[in-house]
Amino acid sequence: MKHKFIFITGGVMSGLGKGVITASIAKLLQLSNQNVSCIKIDPYLNYDAGTMNPITHGEVFVTKDGGECDMDIGNYERFLNKDIPRSHNITTAQIYSHVIESERQGKYLGACVQIIPHITDEIKNRIKKIANDEKLDVIVVECGGTIGDIESLPFVESLRQIRAEFGNTEVLFVHVTLIPSLEVVNEQKTKPTQHSVQELRKIGIQPDMIIGRCEKPLLEKTKKKIALFTNVNLEDVISCHDAKSIFNIPDILSKQGVTKSIFKKFNKTNIHNNKRWNEWHSIVNSLHGNNKIVKIAMIGKYVSLTDSYVSVVHALKHSAASLQRNISIDLIDSENININKLANFNGILIPGGFGTRGSKGIIKTANYAYKKNIPYLGICFGFQLAIVAFGLHYCKLDDANSTEICATTKNPVIDLLPEQNDVSKIGGSLRLGSNKIKIKKDTITYKIYKNNQIIKRHRHRYEFNKNYLDIYEKNGLIFSGESDNGRRIEIIEEPTRKFFIGVQFHPEFDSRPGFPENIINAFIHASML
Ligand code: GLN
């Protein structure tokens, strides 16, 4: 089978939304009946995103098969409504460690092992293998970083080689750059783009399309200038201006002929699928335009960067949209929380988190939500600390805590997963990815999922200590979901409250626009009442 490749590079600076543009281009192809997927290349030296602080790098997105990935993988899943395996997030560390290990095993038969061809071959093989294994019509590969960076060079070189191997009708390069506007002169400036394309050419790549990130739509004269200086056809200079929502980007690109141009370059016939387009438009339109608002407070310690919780934020929006509500989400720092201000919210959500800092504020919040009967959803850390709060205030377990927060607590109601006792490595060692969860009949959770079994993604090292199960049950907490033949508690609920539910798993990773996740939907629903 022949696959087509689209390579997305970035110019001028990072943070242009290349991930969204990559996902949007893939979406356009999917809407034209192509079997498409995306790959994210991260040229950093971390093996994966798992060890990175979300405040500097955004959320760690967990794939079904347990990968701790760059948050762009989440964008791909949400745009394409498709699970993306961990192999689609390639890093420098993965490539080098594989090549070095192969060398140690003597697999290179005495050769001198070098960046070209050994590193570049490994990169190319991984990309081709994904396209083959998944029988893709088109694979869209986003190369992280900015052209000119030292660390992305071997990757960009590999992409160049793929083009040299297959030719211009099989491989396209799309370069995403910034077109700044200077207010004072009221002009869109093209010089940074010109320089960035020169950098690309220096390493042997002529882009086929330029997508300019800008505040306002690119003017015709700006497009002309870019076309002239970069050797790109005028119709392939595309404006990606600020939009109401990221889900409007496919439309913005499509209206400028991006799909048509890609098919033309690929020598393929475009099969515009009206039904798929209508479905997509109705999803996108549902995401805004409702005037009744539901106000949610989200409390955590990584609030200085919204991207730290990007999947939760999206999931809340998907649910609100499906319930014809607008949503406002206030991110509140758990370290400096003014608890009484929470009275102004319709619902309180505690997302995942790690470590001691800010944990007191979270425990207080969970108790406040319970006491004041404000709908509460605790995810992972938010589940664990709701159990701590309930233990402290309603089970007379003084000093109840998680051993993650206080190793010597008298009542370790949340404790290390037993299999973690001998684990000393931090990277990739949490309980990760999808696991089956059994749901008890006649519980609120059962009503929400309408099923006695669900499969959900995980990322944790601590869990509920079942030695305390009886005390909690006696005091009214219901353990409505469990996994691993009853060894682990996955869900708690308290039926006397409007909505007081905690889940050890991460429902946010399964929510897609138009297809909200059940428990998050139920939480928003309860917050509307
Ligand atoms: N820190 C907790 C644990 O490791 C919760 C993790 C999380 O919220 N993702 O179990």
Question: What is the distance between the alpha carbons of residues 235 and 171, in angstroms, rounded to a whole number?
Answer: 18
Question: What is the distance between the alpha carbons of residues 76 and 156, in angstroms, rounded to a whole number?
Answer: 21
Instruction: Spell 400-432 as b/e; 16+ CB within 10 A means b.
Output: bbbebbeeebebbbbbbeeebeeeeeeeeebbb
What are the sequence ranges of the domains in the chain? 4-282, 291-528
Q: Which of 57, 314, 318, 506 does the annotation list as catalytic? A: 506
Return the percentage of the chain with pLDDT > 90, whole number.
Answer: 91
Confidence of residue 306 (pLDDT cuts 50, 70, 90): confident
- With 90 as the cut, is the pLDDT of residue 185 above it? no
Average the pLDDT over 276-302 and give the result.
92
Pocket test for ligand 1, best of 381, 385, 488 (most atoms within 8 A of CB): 381
By the 10 Å C-beta count (0-12 exposed, 13-18 middle, 19+ buried), 344 is classed as exposed
Average the pLDDT over 209-220 and give the result.
96
Average pLDDT score, the chain: 96
Domain 4-282: give its CATH code. 3.40.50.300
pLDDT digits over 18-46, tens only? 999 999 999 999 999 999 999 999 999 99
Question: What is the distance between the alpha carbons of residues 107 and 101, in angstroms, rounded to a whole number?
Answer: 9
- With 90 as the cut, is the pLDDT of residue 188 above it? yes
Q: Residues near ligand 1 with C-beta < 6 Å? A: 352-354, 380-381, 384, 404, 459-462
Task: Confirm whether 508 is a catalytic residue.
Answer: yes
- With 80 as the cut, is the pLDDT of residue 510 above it? yes
pLDDT digits over 89-114, tens only? 999 999 999 999 999 999 999 999 99
Pocket test for ligand 1, best of 299, 354, 417 (most atoms within 8 A of CB): 354
Confidence of residue 193 (pLDDT cuts 50, 70, 90): very high
Average the pLDDT over 264-279 and give the result.
94
Question: In the prediction, which pLDDT does 281 show?
Answer: 96
Q: Indicate which residue's Cα is closest to atom 5 of ligand 1.
A: 381
- With 90 as the cut, is the pLDDT of residue 459 above it? yes
pLDDT digits over 434-457, tens only? 999 999 999 999 999 999 999 999
Q: Locate tokens 């077109």: which residue?
A: 179
Q: Locate tokens 């099969």: which residue?
A: 271
Closest atom of ligand 1 to CA, residue 353: 8
Question: In the prediction, which pLDDT does 416 show?
Answer: 95
Please state which CATH class domain 291-528 belongs to: alpha beta
- With 90 as the cut, is the pLDDT of residue 424 above it? no
Q: Indicate which residue's Cα is closest to atom 8 of ligand 1.
A: 352
Question: In the prediction, which pLDDT does 483 show?
Answer: 97
- With 90 as the cut, is the pLDDT of residue 182 above it? no
Q: Locate tokens 């990007």: which residue?
A: 310
Fold match, 4-282 / 291-528:
yes
Task: Confirm whether 380 is a catalytic residue.
Answer: yes
- With 90 as the cut, is the pLDDT of residue 271 above it? no
Residues near 244 by Cβ (< 8 Å), separated by ≥ 6?
288
Q: Which of 164, 131, 165, 159 is nearest to 147 (CA)?
A: 159
